Amino acid sequence: MFTERRTRLATQMGANSIAIIQTSPVAYRNNDADYKYRADSSFYYLTGFPEPEAVAVIETFDSPDEYTYTLFCRERDRDMEIWNGYRAGIDGAIEDFDADEACAIELLDEEIIDKLINKEKVYYRIGSSLDTRISQWIKTIQSQRQQAPEQLVQLNPLIDEMRLIKSSQEIELMQKAADISCEAHTRAMQTIQPNMMEYALEAEINYIFAKNGGVPAYSSIVGGGKNGCILHYVENNQPLQSGDLVLIDAGCEYEFYAADITRTFPVNGKFSPEQRALYEVVLKAQYAAIDAVRAGNSYYEPHHIAVKILTQGLVDLGLLSGDVDKLIVEEAYRQFYMHGTGHWLGIDVHDVGAYKIKGQARPLQAGMVVTIEPGLYIAPDDDTVEEKWRGIGIRIEDDVLVTEKEPHVLTANVVKDIDAIEQLMAG
Ligand code: GLY
Ligand code: MN
Ligand code: MN
């Protein structure tokens, strides 16, 4: 599948071109301790190569059907491998990762020059740390009085568009990430106890991810009570109180593909009347928005539908007053719903791909995966509403595949209807 992607990219690059794609650097955490390494998403998409310090080079010649793939990577090194683990090395790059040629990463500056000479276009991530290196390479070529490439082209849009439409193999991996994440959320509902710490509940989630070969796709949010109103709450260090809801936004990354699920449920297993009333509004909005995830609909259609139902619900419950359409035009709902209804999902949790084309909302197409995640967040200090509503934060988030027919919810294996949640939590 990686070869097929490189071939498609080469075809789009045109003749006499070169694409240079580097992976992410190792991220330093603190003295002598790095974060666990995770390759750059687009680099991985094209190469399947998980090691750091690697650069992929794709060159086309007189015809874009004819191309070569060179992988610059770390050489094998017995001492370094004893300390830091296995490396594919030059032979592995060719044998296991299908490179036509492979070269030590230290030789990149030297070896790239010949590849660049007489090429017309260089595709790379403009705005990355390659900017300076490419300028230097071009200067070197010019100082040798050779023909340097004249066009520097932004590579991202080409790869982003490819990544936006998922193949059946990708969907399988996303389904696996979704299944693991559903199991994790189910376990959280089953194991929660009043007075448990938020981080202890997070540990239940992480346990299921890790047991299944996954890692968190992003920092999990486990927010009890008013912490559920903080959109990016990641401290997860407070006790979970009986009578509060807990909002968990957590998704597994499996073989580089992410899931992204939010569930909100009562710490003691029973929704209060206010929690129930708001939850039902969010759930209704979520079901209706999911139903709009259909090929041909605008990407923004699910958001418009969610906003309409949420605003109507806020008016019905007395949290907003006035004409619903007017409140929507004035964006009055933003007091309680201040984010969008979703995003692309894939190798990145906020996956790549344009949301608009020439300023126009793009139509959904089969193979795209979006999240649908409406919510309502009543700030704990919002004195424009009755006290009973304050500090309630609710979001419900699922991952939805666009098909030629019905929307396909990848994350359907964890309950979200009130009765089903209460039943599951009652054991
Ligand atoms: N978990 C990040 C998001 O929902 O967008
Ligand atoms: Mn999301
Ligand atoms: Mn999320």
Catalytic residue chosen out of the listed positions 339, 362, 390, 408: 339
Residue 248 has pLDDT above 80, yes or no: yes
State the CATH architecture for 2-162. Answer: 3-Layer(aba) Sandwich (3.40)
pLDDT for 312-370, tens place per residue? Answer: 999 999 999 999 999 999 999 999 999 999 999 999 999 999 999 999 999 999 999 99
Residues 6+ apart with CB under 8 A from 348: 41, 258
What class, spelled out in words, does domain 165-426 have in CATH? alpha beta
Confidence of residue 65 (pLDDT cuts 50, 70, 90): confident
Residue nearest to atom 3 of ligand 1 (CA): 260
For 131-181, the pLDDT digits (tens) are 999 999 999 999 999 999 999 999 999 999 999 999 999 999 999 999 999
Torsion angle defined by CA atoms of residues 182, 339, 217 and 296, in that order, rounded to the nearest 10 degrees: 70
pLDDT over 80 (residue 397): yes
E strands in 181-321 = 215-216, 221-224, 245-250, 252-254, 257-258, 261-266
In angstroms, the CA 378 to CA 277 distance is: 13
pLDDT of residue 156: 95
Residue 301 appears among annotated catalytic residues: no
Q: Are 399 and 345 in contact (CB under 8 A)?
A: yes
Residue 346 confidence (pLDDT): 98
Q: Ligand 2 centre and the CA of 286: distance in Å?
A: 13
pLDDT at 160: 98
Domain 2-162 and domain 165-426 have a common topology: no
On average, the pLDDT of the chain sits at 97
CA 72/CA 78 separation, integer angstroms: 19
Question: Which of 344, 325, 336 minimizes the C-alpha distance to 376?
Answer: 336
pLDDT band (50, 70, 90) for residue 389:
very high
Q: What is the pLDDT of residue 64?
A: 77
Helix residue ranges, H only, 256-360? 273-291, 301-316, 324-329
- Which residues does residue 104 pair with via DSSP β-bridges, in sequence order? 73
Residue range 408-416: mean pLDDT, rounded: 98
pLDDT at 27: 96
Q: Work out which ligand 1 atom sits closest to the CA atom of 217.
A: 1
pLDDT at 302: 98
Minimum-distance ligand 1 atom for the alpha carbon of 343: 5
Q: What percent of the chain has pLDDT over 70?
A: 100
Across 25-41, average pLDDT: 96
Encoding tokens for residue 134? 């490419």
Nearest CA to ligand 1 atom 4: 260
The torsion of the CA quartet 173, 177, 178, 183, rounded to 10 degrees, works out to 140
Q: Is 244 a catalytic residue?
A: no
CA of 384 to the centre of ligand 2 (A): 28
244, 253, 397, 398: the active-site residue: 397
Ligand 3 midpoint to CA 375 (Å)? 11
249 is catalytic: yes
Structural domain spans, the chain: 2-162, 165-426
**pTM of the predicted protein model:** 0.96
Determine the atom of ligand 1 nearest the C-alpha atom of 221: 1
Ligand nearest to the CA of 371: 2
CA 190, chain centre distance (Å): 27
63 pLDDT tier (thresholds 50, 70, 90): confident
Provide the pLDDT for residue 167: 98
How confident is the model over 53-72, as a mean pLDDT? 94
Mutate to test the pocket of ligand 1, among 202, 231, 236, 249 (most ligand atoms within 8 A of CB): 249
